[in-house]
A and B are shown apart, each in its own frame.
Chain A
Amino acid sequence: EADIYQTPRYLVIGTGKKITLECSQTMGHDKMYWYQQDPGMELHLIHYSYGVNSTEKGDLSSESTVSRIRTEHFPLTLESARPSHTSQYLCASSDRGTASYEQYFGPGTRLTVT
């Protein structure tokens, strides 16, 4: 089983609140990713990182931001949550030495903004 953790697993929060979704991996992987997954829809890449101090936006526009100060940690922040941010957020990582299709996913954070 992959050693990639996400907290919280579930979060219900009011509009306008600032939230941070945590993602940590203990595999020493250089590459990390954030995906958004809505029921019955495709996973969409919203952010990725090749390593410390590297962050890139994915294909799906997102109002969230990310940081990569440590290899093992890749938090996602929403400054002001809105109901449109309600979704499942999945974090993943992959090793520099293997093709990036071999991504290891965390269990996800299900976010509900009321």
Chain B
Amino acid sequence: QKEVEQDPGPLSVPEGAIVSLNCTYSNSAFQYFMWYRQYSRKGPELLMYTYSSGNKEDGRFTAQVDKSSKYISLFIRDSQPSDSATYLCATATQGGSEKLVFGKGTKLTVNP
């Protein structure tokens, strides 16, 4: 079983839709949960991170972690064509946070 599972999609939505991206993980020791965004032919960039359980909101983006079910979510409200990218979830343990464990990434296309 992979440590982080992520549906690779692809996911195609109309502009303005609410997008839900999800990952599951297996290692209870994971404490840091990140979402990276990767545009085509670019390196990933950190979008949001959460420590332990809970929600975090940043503009149109909300990251959610449910440690009881080992479930990570990223919600995008009012999606825009500029949100079209691959979204990678990543996790890390406390004290070992140099070693990020990534999901495969979900490719999202927002159609105008």
Interface of A with B (CB < 8 Å)? 2, 4, 31, 33, 40-45, 48, 50, 58-59, 90, 92, 94, 99-108
The SS class assigned to the B binding surface is loop
Question: Taking the complex as formed, is B34 at the interface, i.e. its CB lies under 8 A from any CB of chain A?
Answer: yes
- Contacting pair A101 B43 (CB below 8 A): no
Interface string of B25-47 (1 = CB under 8 A from A): 00000001010000001111110
Nearest CB in chain A: distance from B106 CB, A: 11
Q: Which A residue's beta carbon lies closest to that of B92?
A: A101
Interface residues on B, range: 20 to 34
| CB of A11, distance to nearest CB on chain B (Å) | 15
The answer to whether A31 touches B98, judged by C-beta atoms less than 8 angstroms apart, is: yes
Q: How far is the CA of A95 from the CA of B54 in the complex (A)?
A: 25
Partner of B49, one of A48, A92, A102: A102
Distance, CA A48 to CA B88, complexed state (A): 20
Q: Is the CB of B44 within 8 A of A101?
A: no
Complex Cα distance, B41 from A94, in Å, reads 21
